[in-house]
């Protein structure tokens, strides 16, 4: 049975996520396509920041992802992030109060919210606030503070002071790494305490993290993984890590 180009790329990423490296000649044999075709696949995936080309194949490229601009991150794993977003919104009810940190996954979640649903959203994401413009059904409370213009979020003492005044039904949070050993982690230390406070200030915490983040550790620890009530990720995430997360009591949903 033939598979589509996108399905082949997804399987390549799944192999890469498990092994850390793939070789062109092996992929050509597995998928029964030419090495030229595989090289084109790898080039496309490299342009999306999902891997790095090396002689004879490709390696996992988490560092490349970390160094992307906000706009570039939004296109990396876009299909997977949108699939997660569609599942996250099934957990949201009319008149919910929600805390959301910054990140491309949380932006996709916000974009998936029904425009007719009445929600109050407390966020430090400038991108979410901009996306909400013109929708009177979504009450957006954009936390003040210093602004990280590269990644479009507010941070600092003013942000934390304002955040401490709120309590939410749910928090929907983006992170850069999820693992048993390192917990929930972020590359941006400015957001670490904000995310901590959002978890503490909500009745239910939902981590929205694509498969690329599972089993990885970023620069700054937010908290232990078991502080999350739910983790929603992709079916291509490392299954051993998923099982470990389930065993410590986290509800893990894969899409």
CATH of the domain at 13: 1.10.10.10
14 or 133: which leads in pLDDT: 133
Q: Residue 52 has what pLDDT?
A: 82
Q: Residue 140 has what pLDDT?
A: 98
CATH of the domain at 171: 3.40.50.1360
Q: Residue 168 has what pLDDT?
A: 98
The residue segments making up the domain with residue 15 are: 5-60
Q: Residue 3 has what pLDDT?
A: 86
Q: Residue 59 has what pLDDT?
A: 85
Q: Residue 192 has what pLDDT?
A: 94
* Shared domain check, 133 and 29: no
214 vs 242: CA distance, rounded Å? 8
Alpha helices in the chain (DSSP H): 5-19, 24-31, 35-47, 62-66, 70-75, 78-88, 104-112, 126-131, 157-163, 189-200, 239-247
Q: Which DSSP symbol is given to 90?
A: G
pLDDT tens for 182-238 read 999 998 889 999 999 999 999 999 999 999 899 988 888 999 999 999 999 999 899
pLDDT tens for 124-161 read 999 999 999 999 999 999 999 999 998 999 999 999 99
* Shared domain check, 150 and 47: no
Residue with tokens 């013109």: 134
* Shared domain check, 94 and 182: yes
Q: Residue 21 has what pLDDT?
A: 85
Beta-carbon count within 10 A of 53 CB: 15
pLDDT tens for 40-90 read 999 988 876 678 888 899 987 665 566 667 887 787 788 999 999 999 999
Cβ 23 vs Cβ 57: under 8 Å: yes
Our CA angle for 238, 12, 209, nearest 5°, is 40
Q: Residue 201 has what pLDDT?
A: 98
Q: Residue 72 has what pLDDT?
A: 77
Residue 65: inside a domain: no
Give the tokens for residue 72.
């570039």
Environment class of 217 (CB within 10 Å of its CB; exposed 0-12, middle 13-18, buried 19+): middle
Residue 66: inside a domain: no
* Shared domain check, 201 and 132: yes
Residue 208: inside a domain: yes
Q: Residue 66 has what pLDDT?
A: 64
199 vs 227: CA distance, rounded Å? 8
17, pLDDT greater than 80:
no
* Shared domain check, 213 and 108: yes
* pTM for the structure as a whole: 0.79
Q: Residue 2 has what pLDDT?
A: 77
5 vs 26: CA distance, rounded Å? 17
186 vs 213: CA distance, rounded Å? 10
């Amino acid at each position: 049975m033939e598979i589509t180009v996108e399905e082949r790329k997804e399987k390549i990423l799944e192999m890469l996520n498990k092994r850390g490296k793939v070789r062109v000649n092996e992929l050509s044999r597995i998928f029964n396509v030419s090495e030229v075709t595989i090289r084109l696949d790898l080039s496309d995936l490299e342009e999306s920041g999902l891997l790095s080309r090396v002689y004879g194949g490709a390696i996992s490229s988490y560092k490349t992802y970390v160094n992307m601009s906000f706009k570039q991150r939004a296109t990396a794993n876009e299909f997977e992030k949108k699939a997660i977003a569609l599942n996250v919104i099934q957990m949201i009810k009319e008149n919910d109060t929600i805390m959301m940190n910054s990140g491309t996954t949380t932006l996709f979640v916000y974009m998936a919210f029904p425009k007719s649903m009445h929600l109050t959203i407390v966020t430090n994401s400038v991108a979410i606030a901009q996306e909400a413009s013109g929708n009177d059904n979504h009450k957006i409370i954009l936390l003040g503070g210093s602004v990280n213009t590269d990644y479009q979020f507010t941070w600092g003492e003013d942000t934390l002071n304002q955040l401490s005044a709120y309590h939410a039904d749910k928090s929907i949070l983006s992170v850069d790494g999820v693992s048993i050993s390192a917990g929930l982690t972020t590359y941006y230390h400015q957001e670490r305490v904000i995310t901590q406070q959002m978890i503490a200030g909500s009745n239910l915490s939902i981590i929205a993290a694509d498969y690329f983040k599972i089993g990885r550790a970023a620069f700054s620890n937010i908290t232990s993984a078991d502080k999350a009530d739910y983790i929603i990720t992709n079916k291509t995430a490392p299954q051993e890590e998923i099982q470990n997360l389930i065993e410590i009591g986290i509800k893990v949903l894969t899409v």
